[in-house]
Structures are given as structure tokens and as C-alpha cells.
Amino acid sequence: MKTTLNLKHSVGLKTMNWLKGIKVTPKTGDEILTNEGISINYSLLDFWKWSVSDILSNATRGRFAEFIVCTAIGLNPDKIRNEWEAYDLTTSEGIKIEIKSAAYIQSWAQKSFSDIRFSIKKSRYWEAETNILNRESKRHADVYVFCHLKHKDINTINPLKMEQWDFYILPTSILDNYKDNQSSISIKSLQKLANPRKYSELSTEILKAYEKQNKLNHSK
């Protein structure tokens, strides 16, 4: 679930080609904020607590869903999330995965449960190495994983509990051939294409979807 870079911004970046990309290293949370070399008594962990404790919020829940899938397929969390990649994760087998999330309950006050709908829009890929926005709009992943936080009890909802989630896994070709809507898909439509899976089934089902994706591609 990455942020899409708009063309206007990418054009502006072209004037900065002389700036090399920065290699990000994993942080522990113990790093200290300083002012002129002196600690101001706050750490990076304090920032994390302040900024991402609300896992139910749309933006944070989306990143957390990516992390859930990351843990299911055994990726090293020290391999830092790439904000500008064309897809969300790559497995050790080279499977490119796009991850979407949705929930009935949000962190704000609601009159009713949220409608469950996932974005499946095509996008243009910005290559960080070349600073170029590709012209072709497409789905870049091999497999899509739709993470549905299905729990409906506001008193007990907890995204950290994997049993409160359902996961729907599809080869990308299925979405490319989806006739109803090429921008989004409802939970009811999704359930016609895939069965809900548990967290423990994620790794196996992703491999199955990838194999199916390869067969569909070869049959074209």
C-alpha cells in the first residue's frame, strides 16, 4: 500500500539527480533526540509511540497489514520497508506482493460500520535508482493480499490478534480480468473470487496464488 508519486512532483525531483539515494539502516528505538549535541530527553521510541500507536487508523493499519504479511512469509524485519517500491513486499522466492487493508471499525466515532472496499487501481512506477516515472500504468505485483480486520466488537477489537483478521489472496491476473470495476473491489465481490484464509495459511496460499499467476501468464 504505497503512496503514489504524482507526475508534478517527479518532474521536480529530476532537477535533483545529483543527490544520491540515502541507505536507511534499522533503528532500535533507543536513539536519542539532541539539540547541539545535548539530549532533549526524548528517544525515537517516544516518536514511534506518539505517531503509530493508533493501529486502527487507516494509514497505520495499512502499514501494519504489510507487517503482518511480512511476518507470515518469514521476511527479516530488519529489511526496511521501501516507501516508493511499486509493490509492498518481495518474498525470498522473488514473489512480488501488493497488500491492501480494510476494517469495519475505525478509531474515530462512527454511526455505522465502514463499508469494506479495497483499492485495486493501476499505478505508474517511479524508479528511485533512475528518478524516472514510467509511462505505463499497471499492477506491478504478482499476488494481491487483501487484509480484512473483520472484528465488530468495539470493546474487544485488537489488530494485534491475528484471529480478528481474514486474508484473501489472489493472483494479479484475476484482478486484471475483473470486469466490474478496475479501481476498487467490495468484500462481497472479493468473496466470489477467493475464500477467506487464516494467518497460519498465508504463506502457503501466497505460493499457490503465485503458481496460478504463472500458469495464467503462460496461457496468454
The pTM of the full predicted model, rounded to 2 decimals, is: 0.85
Q: Which of 91-95, 128-132, 154-158 has maximum average pLDDT?
A: 154-158
- What are the structural domain ranges in the chain? 7-218
The radius of gyration of the chain's CA atoms, rounded to the nearest angstrom, is 19
Tell me the percentage of the chain whose pLDDT exceeds 90: 65
Strand 38-43 vs strand 32-35: parallel, antiparallel, or unpaired?
A: antiparallel
CA distances from 181 to 45, 116, 190, 219 (A): 42, 15, 12, 23
pLDDT at 70 over 60: yes
For 104-149, write each residue's pLDDT tens digit. Answer: 999 999 999 999 999 998 887 766 666 666 777 888 899 999 999 9
pLDDT at 7 over 50: no
pLDDT at 169 over 90: yes
pLDDT grade for 8, boundaries at 50, 70 and 90: very low
Length of the chain: 220
| Mean of pLDDT values over 1-25 | 59
Question: What is the secondary structure of 150-203 as a DSSP string?
Answer: ----TTT--TT-GGGEEEEEEEHHHHHT--S-SSEEEHHHHHHH---B-GGGHH
Question: 180: Cβ–Cβ under 8 A, 6 or more apart, which residues?
Answer: 189
Query: Cell 512506477, residue?
Result: 125
> C-alpha cell of 195?
475464500
pLDDT grade for 2, boundaries at 50, 70 and 90: low
pLDDT of 217? 77
